[in-house]
Amino acid sequence: MNRILCLITGVWILFSCSKVPESTDIPPVTPPVTDSTPAQYGTPFNNVPARQDAIIYQVNMRAFSQKANFQGVIARLDSIQALGVNVIYLMPIYPVGKIKSVNSPYCVKDYQSVNSEFGTLADLRALVEGAHNRNMGVILDWIANHTAWDNGWIASHKNWYLQDASGNIVSPPGMGWNDVAQLDFKNAAMRLEMIKNMKSWVYIANVDGFRCDYTDGPPVDFWKQAIDSLRNIKTHKLLIMAEGTRSANYSAGFDYNFGFGFYGQLKNIYSKGASVLLIDNLNKTEYANSTGDQQVVRYITNHDVNGSDGTPLDLFGGKTGSMAAFIVAAYMKSVPMIYNGQEVGTPFRIPFPFTGNKINWTLNPDITAEYKKILAFRNSSTAIRRGLLTSYSNADICAFTKETAGEKVLVISNLRNQTIQYSLPVALTNTSWTDAIKGGSVSLSTQLTLLPYSYLIAKQ
């Protein structure tokens, strides 16, 4: 689902929001893969954050720097760290297919190689090591549902692919993704090889997990098999993100589901005047069947919607409005994801296949400074990351507290481009706080005047 074909962006968004049949009953699967593995490169990273403590940063190599390669990312690792990030997510790093190609990074020619467009395995290792040295984990994008038409498996293992009645390999049915070939997950040998390839990157590049593309395509029992095998690597703590919405993804063992619903409703709130209370509903439905500290990853942009819908500045009321939206994504009930360039208020889209526009890192230092403050407080606040949520939202204002033993945080964000008089609930009237971002005392009575797209973050 995270492959953009410029011809079908409208269909794409409709699909993102569609219901996918699901089951919370995980059928029996074959045992975890126990094949021989490559020698471990480097020292496994011991500071991978806990699920709920992550701040994820998405890197699109083609747009990230003028060099458009691993070295361009390495040169900015200090800046990524300074933002407050602790997990870097790299978009696909594998060679791209040429047959029927639209130059999509999600069209994998070889699961076991590095795309020379970005550099070498040594360059990837240097990026991972540099991130680890700065206390950041690195996860790779993994595309399990389909391959390029010139992937070696096509010639050597045709039976690993879905075929029509005439024996022709087919593209993913009903998707319009004609540049890729659909794998057949009824084939046990293909599954084992796919999982073996996933595991190999943990060893040869010392990575810390995966973001799994179009997770709701392959069956749940495949992901259960894959994740069980990955968790069997006892030397590594891995983070595994589902780019999907199936509640059964939690049962399969993913750390995260993807907040398609949150992003879609946020757009409705800003562009159609929909009620902010829709977010409260999502805090229930997006976490259905989650257990323990499993989380939803929420965002105000990513590589797909940036090209198809517009930038956060376009969609969410410019600088101030997009920051009010990000406050909710970062603080309410989720793990936040930032798309490269978001933190400098990039004013233009980065359209598929991402080979044109390059991010200008000198733009809008004021926006960067605000992101740093917001993320620094998230990193410092146990209540924000792990606390009990109590919502006080209304149709226009997103308001809530997060509380743990010894710490209580109040967040109020005006998601409207107008001044709102917010009537404080009884639990918040006549209370005293400290402004968590600006410092100084905050005294609340019964009413609070909120300027357009303004927000308050206070603590006790």
Q: Using one digit for the tens of pLDDT, what is the confidence trace for 27-74?
A: 444 444 445 789 999 999 999 999 999 999 999 999 999 999 999 999
Percent of the chain with pLDDT over 90: 92
Instruction: Give bridge partners of residue 450 from the DSSP assignment.
Output: 420
pLDDT at 35: 55
* 51 vs 195: CA distance, rounded Å: 22
Among 344, 367, 385, where does a domain finish?
A: 385
DSSP state, residue 49: P
Say which residues have a Cβ less than 8 Å from residue 193's Cβ, sequence separation at least 6.
Answer: 153, 160
Tell me, yes or no, whether 223 lies in a domain: yes
Same domain, 259 and 372: yes
Same domain, 224 and 284: yes
Inter-residue long-range contacts of 151-157, CB under 8 Å, 24+ positions, other chains counted: 151/97, 151/108, 151/109, 151/110, 151/111, 151/181, 152/110, 153/190, 153/193, 154/181, 157/189, 157/190
Task: Dump pLDDT digits (tens) for 7-40.
Answer: 333 333 333 333 333 444 444 444 444 457 899 9
Tell me, yes or no, whether 70 lies in a domain: yes
* 457 vs 375: CA distance, rounded Å: 12
Task: Dump pLDDT digits (tens) for 323-351.
Answer: 999 999 999 999 999 999 999 999 999 99
Say if residue 240's pLDDT is above 80: yes
The mean per-residue pLDDT over the stretch 242-263 comes to 98
Task: Dump pLDDT digits (tens) for 158-198.
Answer: 999 999 999 999 999 999 999 999 999 999 999 999 999 99
Percent of the chain with pLDDT over 70: 92
Angle at 217 between CA 211 and CA 220, to 5 degrees: 80
pLDDT at 81: 98
pLDDT at 37: 82
Same domain, 91 and 217: yes
Q: Quote the domain boundaries for residue 253.
A: 41-385
CATH code of 203's domain:
3.20.20.80
Same domain, 339 and 455: no
Cα–Cα nearest to 68, from 60, 76, 58: 60
The mean per-residue pLDDT over the stretch 266-278 comes to 98
Q: For residue 366, what are its two tokens?
A: 């004021």
Among 385, 403, 428, where does a domain finish?
A: 385
Handedness of CA 132, 94, 107, 229 (dihedral sign): negative
Dihedral angle of Cα 22, 24, 25, 31, to the nearest 10 degrees: 90
Task: Dump pLDDT digits (tens) for 90-130.
Answer: 999 999 999 999 999 999 999 999 999 999 999 999 999 99
Same domain, 123 and 253: yes
Same domain, 379 and 422: no
* 306 vs 349: CA distance, rounded Å: 6
CATH code of 411's domain:
2.60.40.1180
* 34 vs 53: CA distance, rounded Å: 31
* 235 vs 48: CA distance, rounded Å: 12
Among 352, 385, 418, where does a domain finish?
A: 385
Same domain, 134 and 54: yes
Tell me, yes or no, whether 113 lies in a domain: yes
Task: Dump pLDDT digits (tens) for 307-327.
Answer: 999 999 999 999 999 999 999
The mean of the pLDDT values for the chain is: 93
Q: For residue 386, what are its two tokens?
A: 């792990």
Tell me, yes or no, whether 336 lies in a domain: yes
Q: For residue 207, what are its two tokens?
A: 């990575």
pLDDT at 184: 98
The mean per-residue pLDDT over the stretch 363-370 comes to 98
Same domain, 381 and 437: no
Angle at 301 between CA 282 and CA 134, to 5 degrees: 105
3-state DSSP percent of the chain in helix, strand and coil, to 5: 35, 20, 45
Angle at 143 between CA 315 and CA 209, to 5 degrees: 90
pLDDT at 38: 93
Same domain, 378 and 401: no
Say which residues have a Cβ less than 8 Å from residue 81's Cβ, sequence separation at least 6.
Answer: 134, 135, 136
Same domain, 150 and 62: yes
Q: Does the predicted TM-score (pTM) go above 0.75?
A: yes
Say if residue 133's pLDDT is above 60: yes
pLDDT at 13: 34
Say if residue 210's pLDDT is above 80: yes
Handedness of CA 236, 249, 196, 146 (dihedral sign): negative
Task: Dump pLDDT digits (tens) for 289-300.
Answer: 999 999 999 999
Cα–Cα nearest to 50, from 86, 102, 7, 12: 86
Quote the number of domains for the chain: 2
Tell me, yes or no, whether 18 lies in a domain: no
Same domain, 276 and 419: no
> What are the phi and psi torsion angles at 390 (to 5°)?
-130, 120
Tell me, yes or no, whether 22 lies in a domain: no
* 321 vs 324: CA distance, rounded Å: 5
Tell me, yes or no, whether 352 lies in a domain: yes
Tell me, yes or no, whether 268 lies in a domain: yes
Same domain, 258 and 323: yes
